[in-house]
Amino acid sequence: MDNRELLQKMLTTNSFFTAGLLKPEQQDQFITYVRGEATLLRAVRFIRMSRFSMEIDKMHIGEPITESAAEATGSTYDADAAFTRVTLTAQKIRARLPYSVETLIGNIEGPRFENTIIQRMSERIGVDMEHLALNGDTAYTPTNTPEGRLLTRQDGWAKICEGAHIVDAGGDTIRKEIFAEAKARMPKDFRRDPGLRFLCSQNIADNWLTTLSDRGGEIGVGALRGTTVKPYGVPLLEVPLIPDDQSVTVGTVAASPGQVLGNRQGPFVIRSGINDTLVLNFNGAAGGPITVTFPQGTYDTVAMVQMINAAITASGAPPGGIAGLGRCTTLADGKLLLETNTLGVGGNVLVGADGPPPGTGPSNVNDTLGFVAGTYAGTAAGGGGTVNEGSYMLLTNPKNLIFGILTVPRVGSPQAVAGAEGTRMYSKYDEEVDSVIVTTYNFIAMAVENLEAVVKVKNIRRKRLY
């Protein structure tokens, strides 16, 4: 029996891959993997849905219900209580991942082969689900990127919370007054909830530590060691998937560089004559734009940064080149960032327009790297401008955020519904490309139980620390 026959035998005998619809115990294991790599999915209200649409009852009493009572007199006052429902409507999502046979051959007969594929794919699905639950936006653009195809599925908590109490930081960096204002906006009924948390990005949390470290004594030393201080008694919950590279308009205190941020994450697949050239210039160098040509291959983010910077260096000093005028680096989730070394309006990045159509000559790599052709200028000191350094923060109890996933009810359980559909997983061997393709389907939903118990702080600017 050769390797491919062994592979086919594995696929036809494996319990996960042959079932399609996962059994209850398999569903349990899948959810364990999904929540294992996520941060918020372990903290929010996680609901196993037995049908595509569910309603959750809630009650809010906003005003006093106690009154003075004179002897032998009744009450003519009935307090108002808001009895409402939150509706969870599951939406279909798909994850598809090919594994080359060469990658799998060494594990065909290994006892952990099933776990290796299922666990790693499920963990990535968990990260994607949390990203969608947080940052989903049906109006998200661009829609033709992997991130866009995910986030346009439905509105996530950040978008839903636009209807909550709002604090606009106006492009200010994090400081104690922002925390104080957020807490002040929280209705008193919810302010005393011991489960309240400030949900923020890791960089915003580090910015807060940097602010604390400027103080002397135990607080400053503790901040340098990573020990944070609860702002006004409310702990911080660092959520890696809260972005801090959003566009934000600021009245800059210091000048900022010209910069353009890609919207794609590595690895990047380069094909000669198809998507192998990048045209760029910094500060309008007199020598004109340079063309970077990449060898065919698959490159992670670090390798791509190194190749772009090597081409910049090799181009020489102006006017014949652009060496020393700008650089490529990374920012947030493995995305590429091109920026000038010059601060202010004199610093600008030009990304050339797309080349000829694929197949007719060298074509631009913009779509692959996530760059949009154009010229991107810096902002002057003291003047307003737009920078990709914005973030948001939520003040709420994480249990106020609801995440639902359609699961397989156990036979005989009260939740068992005819036609109910949980996670489905399929695998097939594609002889043409010599790979195994694993496809998973899920139905998920997200909601906020009580928007009155949420304060959203938006337009926080991430600090530039150097």
Q: For residue 143, is it within any domain?
A: yes
Examine the domain organization and report whether 261 and 293 are in the same domain.
Answer: yes
Closest by CA to 244, choosing from 383, 368, 390, is: 390
Q: Which two tokens stand for residue 53?
A: 């649409």
Top pLDDT among 412 and 333 is at: 333
Q: Which helix (H) or strand (E) holds 292?
A: strand 290-293
Which band of pLDDT confidence, cut at 50, 70 and 90, is reported for residue 245? confident
Which band of pLDDT confidence, cut at 50, 70 and 90, is reported for residue 402? very high
Which band of pLDDT confidence, cut at 50, 70 and 90, is reported for residue 359? very low
Examine the domain organization and report whether 423 and 348 are in the same domain.
Answer: no
What is the average pLDDT across 168-192? 92
From CA 57, how far away is CA 83, in angstroms rounded?
Answer: 7
Q: Taking a C-beta distance cutoff of 8 angstroms, is the pair 351, 262 a contact?
A: no
- Characterize the bridge pairing of strands 197-200 and 236-238: parallel
Q: Helices then strands (H, E): number in the chain?
A: 13, 23
From CA 50, how far away is CA 444, in angstroms rounded?
Answer: 11
Q: For residue 54, is it within any domain?
A: yes
- Domain count along the chain: 2
Backbone angles phi, psi at 458, to 5 degrees: -120, 165
Look at the block and give the residue holding tokens 């940097």. Answer: 210
Helix, strand, coil percentages (3-state) for the chain, rounded to 5, are 30, 30, 40
What is the average pLDDT across 397-420? 72
Assess whether pLDDT exceeds 50 at residue 1.
no
Assess whether pLDDT exceeds 90 at residue 27.
no
From CA 309, how far away is CA 306, in angstroms rounded?
Answer: 5
Q: For residue 456, is it within any domain?
A: no
Q: Taking a C-beta distance cutoff of 8 angstroms, is the pair 292, 368 a contact?
A: no
pLDDT number for residue 69 = 75
Which band of pLDDT confidence, cut at 50, 70 and 90, is reported for residue 356? very low
Angle (CA) 167-169-170 rounded to 5° is: 120
Does residue 362 sit in helix, strand or coil? Answer: coil
- The CATH number of the domain holding residue 297 is 2.60.40
What is the average pLDDT across 389-409? 92
Q: For residue 48, is it within any domain?
A: yes
Q: For residue 307, is it within any domain?
A: yes
Does residue 394 sit in helix, strand or coil? Answer: strand
Assess whether pLDDT exceeds 70 at residue 3.
no
pLDDT number for residue 19 = 53
- The CATH number of the domain holding residue 91 is 3.30.2400
List alpha helices for 188-287, DSSP H.
188-191, 202-213, 217-224
Examine the domain organization and report whether 325 and 404 are in the same domain.
Answer: no
Closest by CA to 340, choosing from 348, 330, 351, 332, is: 348
Q: For residue 195, is it within any domain?
A: no
For 292-342, the pLDDT digits (tens) are 999 999 998 999 999 999 999 999 998 889 999 999 998 656 789 999 999
pLDDT number for residue 345 = 84
Examine the domain organization and report whether 413 and 278 are in the same domain.
Answer: no
Which band of pLDDT confidence, cut at 50, 70 and 90, is reported for residue 6? low
Q: For residue 247, is it within any domain?
A: no
Examine the domain organization and report whether 319 and 413 are in the same domain.
Answer: no
From CA 48, how far away is CA 29, in angstroms rounded?
Answer: 13
pLDDT number for residue 8 = 56
Which residues, at least 6 apart from 360, have a Cβ–Cβ distance to it below 8 Å? none
For 217, half-sphere exposure in the C-beta direction (CA atoms, 13 angstrom radius) is 2
Report the b/e string of 223-239 with b at 16+ CB within 10 A: beeeebbebeebebbbb
Assess whether pLDDT exceeds 70 at residue 361.
no
pLDDT number for residue 23 = 79
* Mean pLDDT comparison of 64-73, 115-124, 262-271, 377-386, highest-scoring range: 262-271
Q: Report the mean per-residue pLDDT for the chain.
A: 82
pLDDT number for residue 381 = 80
Examine the domain organization and report whether 435 and 334 are in the same domain.
Answer: no
pLDDT number for residue 460 = 95
Which band of pLDDT confidence, cut at 50, 70 and 90, is reported for residue 357? very low
Between the alpha carbon of residue 189 and those of residues 26, 60, 236, 400, 449, the distances in Å are 41, 10, 20, 14, 15
Assess whether pLDDT exceeds 80 at residue 59.
no
What is the average pLDDT across 68-81? 65
Whole-number CA gyration radius for the chain? 26
- Characterize the bridge pairing of strands 82-89 and 326-331: unpaired
Examine the domain organization and report whether 413 and 359 are in the same domain.
Answer: no
Domain that holds residue 139: 3-60+84-155+399-444
Q: Which two tokens stand for residue 290?
A: 């340079």
Which band of pLDDT confidence, cut at 50, 70 and 90, is reported for residue 154? very high
| Least-confidence region, from 107-116, 122-131, 201-210, 418-427 | 107-116
For 85-133, the pLDDT digits (tens) are 888 999 999 998 887 766 666 555 454 555 677 778 888 899 999 999 9
Peptide bond into 142 cis (omega under 30): yes
Examine the domain organization and report whether 269 and 303 are in the same domain.
Answer: yes
| Least-confidence region, from 53-57, 422-426, 430-434 | 430-434
Which residues, at least 6 apart from 370, have a Cβ–Cβ distance to it below 8 Å? 145, 262, 263, 264, 265, 335, 336
Examine the domain organization and report whether 12 and 146 are in the same domain.
Answer: yes
